[in-house]
Amino acid sequence: MVLRGVDVEPMGTKIELEKEFPDGSVVRITASPHEFHVTNRALFPRENLAPFYQDTLYWSARKQDGILFYGWLKDNLSKAAHMPIQELKDVWHSLGVQYDSH
């Protein structure tokens, strides 16, 4: 039996972006050539109560999805750095990227 080793990414290939939007939400993108993780911290206002933040994590469902998004991200860094989560979801949809979230 052959056991699989650890994947090691070449130095300098990891991309990390973070943007805070005027509404208080924050999108953080971390991507490598084989996977991505996106955290969306959204502010939810409540009537007569203090607003609260809720984080939602999105990640690549398959290795090929990470590869597709990483390629797009490398070509669109300045654009991606200012995208709210819905625009990122639209990009994933247009690329055929599947993602999981919680």
Q: What angle do CA 29, 33, 37 make, to 5 degrees?
A: 25
Two tokens at 34? 């084989």
Residue 7 lies in a domain: no
Q: Is residue 54 part of a domain?
A: yes
Secondary structure (H, E, C), 45-86? EECCEEEEEEEEEEEECCHHHHHHHHHHHHHCHHHHCCCCHH
Structural domain of 84: 15-101
Tell whether 8 is covered by a domain: no
For residue 1, is it within any domain? no
95 near 72, Cβ under 8 Å?
A: yes
- Whether 3 is in a domain gets the answer no
| Residues 82-95: tens digit of each pLDDT | 999 999 999 999 99
In a domain, 76, yes or no: yes
Give me the pLDDT at residue 45, please: 86
In 3D space, the residue among 56, 57, 8 whose CA is nearest the CA of residue 33 turns out to be: 8
The verdict on residue 46 lying in a domain is: yes
pTM, rounded to two decimals:
0.85
- Kindly state whether residue 2 falls inside one of the protein's structural domains: no
State how many domains the chain has: 1
Q: What is the pLDDT of residues 27-74, one digit of tens each?
A: 999 999 999 999 999 988 889 999 899 999 999 999 999 999 999 999
- Give dist(CA 19, CA 76) in Å, integer: 15
